[in-house]
């Protein structure tokens, strides 16, 4: 995997930056998404054509390793969720969450199609589903396909499944089984890069051997070597960390980078959905899980960047396809139901026109042109087919459904971009219903991932802001709280042991009301004290004025006596009076 380690700079994604290998900035893509999303949701959620997908979920074996009944046969590959799943209600267990829901309809085999052409299926998807918009008759692959050619036998054509009844979300599918699939995708099917020591050391060439010839034991061995390298790196930090940052990717040629970005962007979109629609297996609540987002995506801006890249790539494919789906081109969505057909077309064109509103978003004409580019096309296609085959090794039905749909969706986008050149020789693309449904639903997945990522980003910012303000309050509290507490009244109320202890909030409210009473008591006391002093001073001054004539008479008499002593030549007595300001004590 390219991005094992969190990026140094988790804020590397800035709105004005151009998404690598695309021609638009993050903010342009977000603005476009706000414009396209309502039409895309309307198309994929309200039309029978786009809300049902034909998929072969149960009749194909994993071609690369023994997967038992759709699950990895090895005990080590068992789905692991909680330490002990017995502790949670059965309906929240991974095995239940991963099951498909709702009625399904079998695809009619070739014989049935010949006998009963264009006859809607009965007893399948439910009374309110216009099955003439759902059932598909011509579904042969051609050599330009990036999808896996289906088996010709009638049983392998699969079932029609309601995508609305089976949303992509957390299923609890994890552990060795899931890791085995992702490892096989990255290690064996992405182009071998100098940045992958294990792949390079393996010297595998899956294209040369043929896609099905992938040797999974080699993947396990490679994983072992990777682990050894990891240990070595921990012991000696100078050991070059070859793989895991997005930087090495820039050294690869465009085609190899695009391949990797498509896979990583798809993985990022799956992770976003399972984090956004997450089941808390303790409470049974479906809710966004911020920790899940932070640990899988926020710390890895390159993964988010790859998701945005995929949005640009699929937008370009949808925009390019638009003119071929218009009325003039005679594409029929619902056989034998003109009204539904017209309604579906209007909704499709609403999406394709909006997707075309940003003209330069991804330039496919640059690919398979220069350097080793032209020679890579076949290899590119084979590797992509191999990835789509690996979806049969996914051990959870719902994950397999969405894994298959999205690989088919990207496969269709690549086919539209690289196999149909509307400039050179205009031609009507041969697209099957399954491909169209996969393409538009993959676009809708990316669209909702982008919206969820923006909401998650806001949640991270809010959490960081709350943490900062709490820190500031704590710092401010350390400066002021102690003197306040020193002033606290001594009559603390201790709850009776039988009563519940008051919560922190109750304590604070209580302390607030206490200190308010104290404060009002103090002010009143100080006012009374001051008033008493004023009254005393007033009394003192009044008494002095009343006594003044008597005091003055005593002073005059004592001064006359002292003058008489002086006149007779007798020793003069000391003064018996003095000017003395009043003392507070006298008040
Ligand atoms: C095809 C498929 C579909 C799935 N669908 C669902 C689903 O619908 N619901 C559900 O709950 N689970 C689903 N899973 C399982 C899910 O994808 C994870 O495998 C699981 O949740 C375990 O996650 P993890 O943290 O171990 O890392 P994983 O997601 O399993 O990743 C494995 C390793 O790949 C690397 N990596 C992770 N993301 C990226 C990226 N974007 N780009 C590059 N490298 C990356 C990391 O090194 C990581 O350790 C699906 C698995 C597969 C293979």
Rounded to two decimals, the ipTM of the complex is 0.99
Whole-number Cα distances in Å, 129 to 51, 135, 340, 441, 575 = 10, 11, 11, 18, 123
pLDDT of residue 130: 76
Name the closest-CA residue to atom 48, ligand 1.
4
- Nearest-angstrom CA–CA distance, 294 and 282: 21
Catalytic residue from among 133, 190, 275, 399: 399
Asked if 265 and 190 count as a contact pair (C-beta separation under 8 A), the reply is no
CA of 59 to the centre of ligand 1 (A): 24
Query: What torsion do the CA atoms of 316, 319, 324, 328 make, to the nearest 10 degrees?
Result: -170
Whole-number Cα distances in Å, 406 to 155, 200, 384, 432 = 23, 28, 12, 15
Active-site residue flag, 72: no
- Nearest-angstrom CA–CA distance, 309 and 265: 7
Whole-number Cα distances in Å, 39 to 122, 244, 266, 311, 447 = 30, 38, 22, 16, 11
Ligand 1 pocket mutation pick from 5, 13, 182, 263 by most atoms within 8 angstroms of CB? 182
Query: What torsion do the CA atoms of 325, 326, 330, 335 make, to the nearest 10 degrees?
Result: 70
Task: Provide the 8-state DSSP code for 25.
Answer: B
CA of 264 to the centre of ligand 1 (A): 10
Ligand 1 pocket mutation pick from 82, 96, 399 by most atoms within 8 angstroms of CB? 399
- Is 381 annotated among the ligand-binding residues? no
CA of 447 to the centre of ligand 1 (A): 19
What atom of ligand 1 comes closest to residue 271's alpha carbon? 17
Enumerate the β-bridge partners of residue 106: 159
Ligand 1 pocket mutation pick from 267, 280, 453 by most atoms within 8 angstroms of CB? 267
- Nearest-angstrom CA–CA distance, 458 and 466: 12
Secondary structure of 520-576 as H, E, C letters? HHHHHHHHHHHHHHHHHHHHHHHHHHHHHHHHHHHHHHHHHHHHHHHHHCCCCCCCC
- Is 111 annotated among the ligand-binding residues? no
Ligand 1 pocket mutation pick from 270, 275, 301 by most atoms within 8 angstroms of CB? 270
Name the closest-CA residue to atom 50, ligand 1.
399
Instruction: Give, for all 587 residues of the chain, the pLDDT tens digit.
Output: 445 666 544 445 678 788 888 888 999 999 999 999 999 999 999 999 999 998 888 878 888 887 654 444 444 333 344 457 777 778 888 888 888 888 777 776 665 555 554 554 544 677 678 777 887 765 555 566 676 654 434 455 678 899 999 999 999 999 888 999 999 999 866 775 433 333 322 223 333 333 333 333 343 344 444 444 444 434 433 333 223 334 455 667 888 889 999 999 999 999 999 999 999 988 889 999 999 999 999 999 999 999 999 999 999 999 999 988 887 777 889 888 899 999 999 999 999 999 999 888 888 888 888 777 778 888 888 888 899 999 999 999 999 999 999 999 999 999 999 887 655 555 655 788 899 999 999 999 999 999 999 999 999 999 999 999 998 988 887 765 544 444 443 333 333 333 334 444 444 544 454 456 556 667 777 888 888 888 888 888 888 888 888 889 988 998 998 899 888 888 788 777 777 776 655 55
Name the closest-CA residue to atom 20, ligand 1.
174
CA of 273 to the centre of ligand 1 (A): 11
What atom of ligand 1 comes closest to residue 407's alpha carbon? 1
- Is 169 annotated among the ligand-binding residues? yes
- Least Cα distance to 325 among 51, 121, 129, 49 occurs for 49
- Nearest-angstrom CA–CA distance, 118 and 130: 12
pLDDT of residue 74: 41
Cβ-count burial of 212 within 10 angstroms (0-12 exposed, 13-18 middle, 19+ buried)? exposed
- Is 54 annotated among the ligand-binding residues? no
Name the closest-CA residue to atom 27, ligand 1.
179
Task: Provide the 8-state DSSP code for 186.
Answer: I
What atom of ligand 1 comes closest to residue 406's alpha carbon? 1
Angle in degrees, 0-180, between the axes of helices 433-487 and 26-46, rounded to the nearest 10: 120
Name the closest-CA residue to atom 23, ligand 1.
174
Cβ-count burial of 574 within 10 angstroms (0-12 exposed, 13-18 middle, 19+ buried)? exposed
- 248: phi > 0 → left, psi -120 to 50 → alpha, else beta; which? alpha
Domain regions of the chain by residue span? 26-467, 504-586
What atom of ligand 1 comes closest to residue 303's alpha carbon? 41
pLDDT of residue 497: 36
Active-site residue flag, 11: no
- Nearest-angstrom CA–CA distance, 443 and 437: 10
CA of 352 to the centre of ligand 1 (A): 30
pLDDT of residue 137: 64
- Is 59 annotated among the ligand-binding residues? no
pLDDT of residue 144: 65
Question: DSSP for 346-380?
Answer: HHHHHHHHHHTTSS-S--GGGTTTSTTHHHHHHHH
| Residues whose beta carbon lies within 6 Å of some atom of ligand 1 | 1-4, 168, 170-171, 173-174, 178-179, 181-182, 264, 267-268, 270-271, 274, 296, 303, 391, 394, 398-399, 402-403
CA of 46 to the centre of ligand 1 (A): 29
Name the closest-CA residue to atom 6, ligand 1.
399
Ligand 1 pocket mutation pick from 173, 275, 398 by most atoms within 8 angstroms of CB? 173
pLDDT of residue 79: 37
CA of 454 to the centre of ligand 1 (A): 20
CA of 62 to the centre of ligand 1 (A): 18
Question: DSSP for 403-457?
Answer: HHHHHHHHHHHHHHHHH--TTTS-------HHHHHHHHHHHHHHHHHHHHHHHHH
pLDDT of residue 301: 94
- Nearest-angstrom CA–CA distance, 279 and 173: 12
pLDDT of residue 578: 78
What atom of ligand 1 comes closest to residue 265's alpha carbon? 41
Name the closest-CA residue to atom 28, ligand 1.
179
Name the closest-CA residue to atom 7, ligand 1.
399
Token representation of residue 337: 């139901």
Residues 6+ apart with CB under 8 A from 487: 515, 518
CA of 178 to the centre of ligand 1 (A): 7
- Is 171 annotated among the ligand-binding residues? yes
Catalytic residue from among 72, 77, 133, 396: 396
Cβ-count burial of 295 within 10 angstroms (0-12 exposed, 13-18 middle, 19+ buried)? middle
């Amino acid at each position: 995997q390219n991005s094992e380690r969190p990026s140094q700079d988790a804020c590397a994604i800035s709105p004005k930056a151009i998404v690598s290998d695309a021609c638009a900035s993050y903010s342009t893509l977000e603005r476009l998404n706000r414009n396209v999303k309502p039409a895309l949701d309307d198309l994929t959620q309200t039309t029978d054509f786009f809300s049902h997908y034909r998929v072969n979920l149960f009749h194909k074996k994993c071609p690369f390793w023994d997967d038992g009944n759709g699950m990895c046969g090895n005990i080590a590959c068992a789905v692991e969720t909680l330490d002990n799943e017995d502790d949670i209600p059965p309906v929240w267990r991974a095995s239940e969450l991963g099951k498909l829901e709702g009625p399904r309809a079998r695809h009619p085999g070739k014989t049935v199609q010949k006998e009963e052409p264009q006859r809607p299926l009965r007893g399948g998807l439910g009374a309110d589903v216009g099955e003439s918009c759902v059932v598909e008759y011509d579904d042969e692959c051609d050599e330009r396909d990036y999808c896996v050619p289906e088996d010709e036998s009638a049983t392998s054509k699969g079932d029609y499944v309601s995508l609305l009844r089976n949303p992509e979300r957390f299923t609890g599918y994890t552990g060795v089984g899931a890791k085995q699939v992702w490892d096989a995708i990255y290690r064996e099917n992405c182009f071998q890069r100098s940045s992958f020591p294990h792949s390079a050391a393996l010297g595998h060439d899956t294209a040369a051997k043929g896609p099905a010839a992938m040797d999974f034991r080699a993947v396990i061995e490679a994983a072992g070597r990777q682990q050894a390298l990891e240990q070595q790196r921990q012991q000696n930090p100078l050991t070059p960390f070859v793989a895991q940052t997005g930087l090495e990717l820039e050294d690869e040629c465009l085609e190899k980078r695009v391949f990797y970005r498509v896979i990583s962007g798809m993985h990022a979109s799956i992770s976003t959905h399972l984090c956004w629609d997450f089941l808390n297996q303790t409470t049974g609540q479906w809710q966004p899980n911020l920790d899940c987002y932070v640990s899988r995506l926020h710390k890895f801006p390159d993964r988010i960047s790859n998701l945005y890249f995929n949005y640009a790539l699929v937008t370009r494919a949808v925009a390019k396809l638009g003119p071929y789906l218009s009325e003039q081109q005679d594409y029929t969505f619902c056989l034998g139901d003109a009204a539904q057909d017209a309604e579906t077309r209007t909704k499709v064109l609403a999406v394709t026109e909006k997707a075309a509103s940003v003209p330069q978003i991804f330039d496919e004409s640059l690919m398979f042109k220069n350097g080793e580019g032209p020679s890579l096309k076949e290899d590119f296609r084979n590797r992509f087919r191999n990835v789509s085959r690996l979806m049969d090794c996914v051990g959870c039905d719902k994950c397999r459904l969405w894994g298959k749909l999205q690989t088919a969706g990207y496969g269709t986008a690549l086919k539209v971009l690289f196999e149909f050149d509307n400039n050179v020789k205009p031609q009507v693309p041969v697209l099957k219903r399954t491909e169209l449904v996969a393409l538009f639903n993959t676009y809708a997945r990316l669209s909702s991932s982008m919206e969820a990522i923006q909401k998650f980003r806001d949640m991270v910012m809010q959490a960081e802001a709350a943490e900062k303000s709490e820190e500031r309050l704590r710092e401010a509290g350390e400066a002021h709280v102690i003197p306040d507490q020193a002033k606290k009244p001594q009559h603390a109320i201790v709850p009776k042991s039988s009563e519940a202890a008051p919560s922190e909030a109750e304590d604070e409210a209580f302390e607030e009301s206490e200190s308010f009473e104290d404060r009002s008591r103090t002010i009143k006391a100080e006012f009374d004290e001051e008033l008493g002093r004023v009254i005393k001073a007033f009394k003192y001054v009044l008494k002095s004025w009343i006594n003044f004539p008597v005091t003055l008479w005593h002073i005059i008499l004592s001064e006359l006596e002292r003058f008489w002593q002086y006149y007779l030549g007798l020793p003069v007595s000391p003064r018996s009076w003095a000017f003395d300001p009043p003392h507070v004590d006298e008040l």
